[in-house]
Structure 1
Amino acid sequence: MLVLGIESSCDDTAAAVWEDGTVRANVVSSQADLHEEYGGVVPELASRNHQRLIVPVVQRALTKAEVDAEGLDAVAVTYGPGLPGSLLVGLSFAKAFARGLDVPLIGVNHLEGHVCSVDLEGPRPGRPFLCLVVSGGHTELVRVDENAQHEVLGRTRDDAAGEAFDKVAQLFGLGYPGGPDIDRHAETGDPAFHDFPRSRLDGFDFSFSGLKTSVLYYLRDRSAAERKRLLADHLDDLCAAVQAAVVDVLVDAMRRAVEETGGEHVAVVGGVAANSSLRRRMGALGREAGVDVSVPALTYCMDNAAMIAQAGARRLAAGHTSPAALDVHPNLQL
């Protein structure tokens, strides 16, 4: 089964080819440099650049995979959640491409794609498994069963972990996206430099807006000269302290979920799963709790079309296709 996947939910234009358990090609064109000067994604700029990039990106994926478009069995595409204009570019192209080839169109939930990303390389985690989905705009803890059905155990009530990193990075004068910058600075910092708050809610829900506000007040309560000196002398320490606050909450939620459900297999997916501290701490949790931990390769933590193609292939194998009237769903949930 040869499936073309298309992903354009935010600021990355991506296309991939999946064939019977193998990623034949995975091409991603990032717009990070374009949006960096604004400190975040500008939706209008993102959608315009998707329009410019979608055709060459798909062409590169097909060329890299060494397949002709006529050989495709289906076209899978992200239809939500994400930025409406960005989603619309990918979905419109996928509809036209599938119609022209007379092959099925398969709409894929972006978050479902992330959950499936643990199966792209290496051994698949056993089923059922607990999955922490931590991307730029989403933080959720879900239980995935044998039939790939998802039970949401908890989700963020405000900011996601990735959003917290990006907003704090702005306060620190770092670039966009903020998560990788914070991770790099935290490598040589002291996480005990300052005790930022850890929000622990009932059940498995998350909240990270209080962390952002705490950092804001921590800096605001100092004079301009003090802030400048603090950020010059202790930027690494501050990044390490913020990172520790986020990772502590995520790992604690997974630990409690393992204890309460008796789960033996866990996974962490999404952009924040690339964070080095989170990967180390989840590995340590696995050893302590005696559970198997799966984390995708760094390439597949970020938004990519391989995960969409794979999820689409699974849907097609199960007999599911999408109508030509499929529309974007910016607020789609698992």
Structure 2
Amino acid sequence: MIVLGIESSCDETGVALVETVAGGVPRLRSQALHSQIRMHQAYGGVVPELASRDHVRRVLPLLEAALADASLTKDDIDVVAFTRGPGLAGALLVGAGVACALAASLGKPTLGVHHLEGHLMSPFLSADPPEFPFVALLVSGGHTQLMRVDDVGRYEMLGETIDDAAGEAFDKSAKLLGLGYPGGPALAALATHGNPEAIALPRPLLHSGDLDFSFSGLKTAVMTAMTKFGPAPTGQQRADLAASTQAAICEVLVKKSLRALQETRLSRLVVAGGVGANTRLREQLNAAGARRGLRVHYPELALCTDNGAMIALAGALRLQRDPSAARMDYAFDVKPRWPLVQA
């Protein structure tokens, strides 16, 4: 069975084709992706209307490219999966509309997929796929969550952010440092030239006794540090602050993740979402896992950002467990706010 996945929740247009394998993990046949980063850089962040319009321009050419790369035609598609939410409403509607129109023209069923479930399942496309059950750290610009995952669709929330997500903390701190968009990668790059112990920054909720997160206070501390530097901070001061900010965020993520593994008595951690590509975070989690005999799994770096492969994969895994999940009525809606535990 060939599952087409269409992702359009924010500022990446992704199309991919996944083939289900009897008794095994689906395999990726091809994918095509367009990032809108360059377009949004002029505005310092994502402009929803521009994002939606760009999805309209990109999705069909990307579909043709993915089909050609897989040596398939539209008639080979068995199910069309699309991101139903969460995300920007207008952007989601583009992907959903294209998916349902295409499926109707082919007489094939559709399946709305949860964006975060796509991220959660993306490590199954890696060279070292996880096994159920595991603890998942979903960490991105909009979400920071710890979950117990027993199977596809069987999720228990262990803790989540009560204000800014980790990715927001990276991006907002980067803006305070005068770095461009996207801020997270720019801050991480600058941090390689700084001392992570140079500036004392808070680790919010690190000792709270629960598994929730809070990063808004860290952002305020970064702003205070920049004020103390004066109107013309040196390059080294900015690098030290970037390194110290990254260190604070990663320490909280690592220690909360280890606590979640301890409390659930599980030995596998899956890290997914854009912040999961952060080199320092991976190094610290890998080191902690080696010390404690834990397995840590990540998606391939190319699959850390939003992409169609994770949507096609999540749809294929859902259908393996419930073939009736796909629909043939072609009516659709989107869910800009959609808790994963309700998916």
TM-score by length of 1: 0.96
Matches within 5 A, 1:175-194: 175-194=180-199
Matches within 5 A, 1:33-72: 33-72=38-77
Listed one character per residue, the Cα deviations across residues 131-187 of structure 1 (whole Å, up to 9, x for unaligned) are 000111111101110354111111111111111111111111111111111111112
Question: For residue 197 of structure 1, what is the aligned residue in structure 2?
Answer: 202
Question: For residue 11 of structure 1, what is the aligned residue in structure 2?
Answer: 11
- Compute the displacement of 1:66 (Å): 1.1
The AA in structure 2 aligned to 1:215 is V
- Compute the displacement of 1:312 (Å): 0.6
In the alignment of these two chains, the number of paired residues is 330
- Compute the displacement of 1:325 (Å): 2.6
Which of 110, 123, 131 is the matching residue for 2:128? 123
SS of 2:180's partner is coil
Whether 1:114 aligns to 2:114 is no
d(CA) in 2 for partners of 1:157, 1:53: 35
Whether 1:229 aligns to 2:236 is no
* Greater Cα shift, 30-39 or 141-150: 141-150
Matches within 5 A, 1:281-300: 281-300=284-303
d(CA) in 1 for partners of 2:122, 2:104: 27
Which of 330, 335, 338 is the matching residue for 1:329? 335
d(CA) in 1 for partners of 2:268, 2:27: 23
- Compute the displacement of 1:247 (Å): 0.3
d(CA) in 2 for partners of 1:330, 1:296: 24
d(CA) in 1 for partners of 2:9, 2:266: 31
* Greater Cα shift, 209-218 or 74-83: 209-218
Matches within 5 A, 1:130-169: 130-169=135-174
Listed one character per residue, the Cα deviations across residues 232-282 of structure 1 (whole Å, up to 9, x for unaligned) are 232221111000010001001011111111111111001000000011011
- Unmatched segments (≥5 aa) in structure 2: 21-25
- Compute the displacement of 1:324 (Å): 2.5
Retained in 2: the 8 A contact 1:315–1:321? no
SS of 2:233's partner is helix
Whether 1:260 aligns to 2:260 is no
d(CA) in 2 for partners of 1:259, 1:188: 34
d(CA) in 2 for partners of 1:295, 1:139: 16
d(CA) in 2 for partners of 1:147, 1:11: 26
Retained in 2: the 8 A contact 1:28–1:57? yes
- Unmatched segments (≥5 aa) in structure 1: none
In structure 2, relative to structure 1, the CA distance for the partners of 1:36 and 1:53 (3 Å cut) is same
Which of 315, 320, 325 is the matching residue for 2:318? 315
TM-score by length of 2: 0.93
d(CA) in 1 for partners of 2:240, 2:230: 19
The AA in structure 1 aligned to 2:191 is A
d(CA) in 1 for partners of 2:209, 2:267: 23
Retained in 1: the 8 A contact 2:3–2:315? yes
Question: For residue 246 of structure 2, what is the aligned residue in structure 1?
Answer: 243
Matches within 5 A, 1:90-109: 90-109=95-114
Retained in 2: the 8 A contact 1:131–1:143? yes
Question: For residue 23 of structure 2, what is the aligned residue in structure 1?
Answer: none
SS of 2:151's partner is coil
- Compute the displacement of 1:223 (Å): 3.3
d(CA) in 2 for partners of 1:176, 1:65: 33
Listed one character per residue, the Cα deviations across residues 108-153 of structure 1 (whole Å, up to 9, x for unaligned) are 0000000100101223212110000011111110111035411111
- Provide the aligned C-alpha RMSD in A: 1.3
Identical amino acids, percent of aligned pairs: 48
- Compute the displacement of 1:221 (Å): 4.2
Retained in 2: the 8 A contact 1:106–1:315? no
Q: Moved runs in structure 1, 4+ residues, more than 6 A?
A: none
- Compute the displacement of 1:329 (Å): 0.5
